[in-house]
Amino acid sequence: MPTVAEKDTVKTIRTHYIDGAFVESHGREVMDVIKPTNGKVIGRVTLGDEEDTRHAIAAAKYAFASFSRTAKEERLRYLRQLHEAVSARIDDLTAIMVEEYGGVVRFARLIVESGVTAFAAAEKGLQELPLRQSWGKTTVTLEPVGVAGLITAWNANALFICLKLASAVAAGCTVVLKPSEMSSLQTRVMVEALNAAELPKGVFNVVTGLGTVVGAELVRNPDVAKISFTGSVAVGEAIMRDGAATMKRVTLELGGKSPTIVLDDAALDKAIPSALILAFLNSGQACAAGTRLLAPKSRLDEVKRAIQEGMRAYTVGDPADPNIMVGPMVSQKQYERVESYIRKGIEEGAEVLVGGEGRPKGLEAGYFVKPTVFVNVKNDMTIAQEEIFGPVLSVIAYDSEDEAIRIANDSKYGLHSAVMGTDLDRARRVASQLRAGRVVINNMTDDPQAPWGGFKYSGVGREYGKYGIEAFLEPKAILE
């Protein structure tokens, strides 16, 4: 039971959102929501079970019959309504992301705004996507694939929900969304916002619960045609394997170990700050984080000095403070995971240039780690191969451009990459040889119409813009 003092601040969530209404959970298990800056309980959420999930799937299946037949114009209108409704809650969504997840406020706002943008981007993508094409006596239409299960990770809750929902709605699919159980407070604010968009009942349904319960039911249920998932490789593999029994279509957005190649003609005063932004995105808890910095041996000392200089900006502390660049890790488990990798890096012989083990001084209560940069890293070390999902950067030296490309591609992952250099033609040539779903040149930048997704273990399929919508469509040919 909450103490009296807790009662004022502990938020309680006992409902799911099914068929256009907040309904009491059938599942009875209760999970605490812990604030990562101080380890205190700030919420209690009742987790859904298989029955809640089946209830939501049934609502989505019923709604699919009419929603799948809506005209493009109608879906464009729904996307505009969603855009408007979520735009109205940007401040609330940012605040709850900072509180529940510990995202630094400047980045949390960006994530929420990117979520809002996803609806506008889907609107544009849908406008440009021909859903019907004919030639001779053949007509090809792109039809919504069916009820979709959307399963998301905890590190950018608002963005993932909006992105997946926008694409599904654009395609004419109805959905059951299972957000990370660690994002329940954020999800509640988001569902309130989505509810205000007044979509037809049953088009989107949200069940909060564990992956092994709610997520697994979505994956196994024959009434769900498609799973769009963002999360770890291990769970992605399970979804592909278990979904095969009901021939699920899958989009899997998984992990990364993204390289940033600093070419030897790069202007380091710009390239290194950009590389650090990429490395410490979302306190390092970002799938796209550029956690391997490939530096030319000929300029290694300069690179190290520029990193030391640049890292002074990476202050750690209260994520609500707009001057703070790195917040806490999301949980005790994530804190321990990051610390274990820092220890492993030291054991394997990498040298700590900045940061190191343990909590930063004065931040002993929360899940704070020191933003850490390792040098003398070899690409076969654990810290260069495995996704840490925390603020840990590995600097790897290379001799030639070819070697840089080889090291960059020597990874099981292929989600995101960056190339920094002054000669743009050369930077483009290097970019064209990287095995990654996205490569940015000279800066972290985004285009919501450009596809997002990974090569190799970084996933299957793409999101964003028309690519994201196509992932919820099935081509059908009618021949006379």
Q: Quick one: which H or E segment has residue 31?
A: strand 30-34
Q: Distances from the Cα of 271 to the Cαs of 287, 296, 370, 402, in angstroms?
A: 21, 13, 22, 20
DSSP 8-state symbol, 174: -
Cα–Cα distance measured from residue 196 to residue 212, given in angstroms and rounded to the nearest whole number = 30
Structure-token match 């840089």, residue found: 404
Question: Can you read off the two tokens belonging to residue 415?
Answer: 């989600």
**Closest residue by beta carbon to ligand NAD:** 211
Strands 473-479 and 138-144, bridge-based pairing: antiparallel
Structural contact between residues 156 and 109, judged by C-beta atoms closer than 8 angstroms: no
Q: Which of 123, 181, 217, 253 is catalytic?
A: 253
Q: Which of 173, 287, 339, 387 is catalytic?
A: 287
Structure-token match 């009875």, residue found: 28
Chain center to CA of 240:
19
Among residues 42, 33, 40, 102, the alpha carbon closest in space to that of 338 is found at: 102
Strands 148-151 and 175-178, bridge-based pairing: parallel
Cα–Cα distance measured from residue 350 to residue 343, given in angstroms and rounded to the nearest whole number = 10
b/e per residue, 181-194, with b = 16+ CB within 10 A? bbbbbbbbbbbebb
Residues, the chain, total? 480
Q: Interface residues with ligand NAD (CB under 6 A)?
A: 151-155, 178, 180-181, 210-212, 215-216, 219, 230-232, 235, 238-239, 253-256, 287, 387, 389, 415, 454, 459
DSSP 192-216: HHHHTT-PPTTSEEE----IIIIIH
Cα–Cα distance measured from residue 43 to residue 51, given in angstroms and rounded to the nearest whole number = 23
Q: Three-state SS string across 232-281, please?
A: CHHHHHHHHHHHHHHCCEEEEECCCCCEEEECCCCCHHHHHHHHHHHHCH
3-state secondary structure of 47: coil
Question: Does residue 253 carry a catalytic annotation?
Answer: yes
Cα–Cα distance measured from residue 405 to residue 327, given in angstroms and rounded to the nearest whole number = 32
Q: Which residues contact 48 (CB under 8 A, 6 or more apart)?
A: 16, 25, 26, 27, 207, 208, 209, 213, 214
Among residues 56, 117, 233, 118, the alpha carbon closest in space to that of 468 is found at: 118
Strands 413-414 and 455-456, bridge-based pairing: antiparallel
The residues that are catalytic are 253, 287
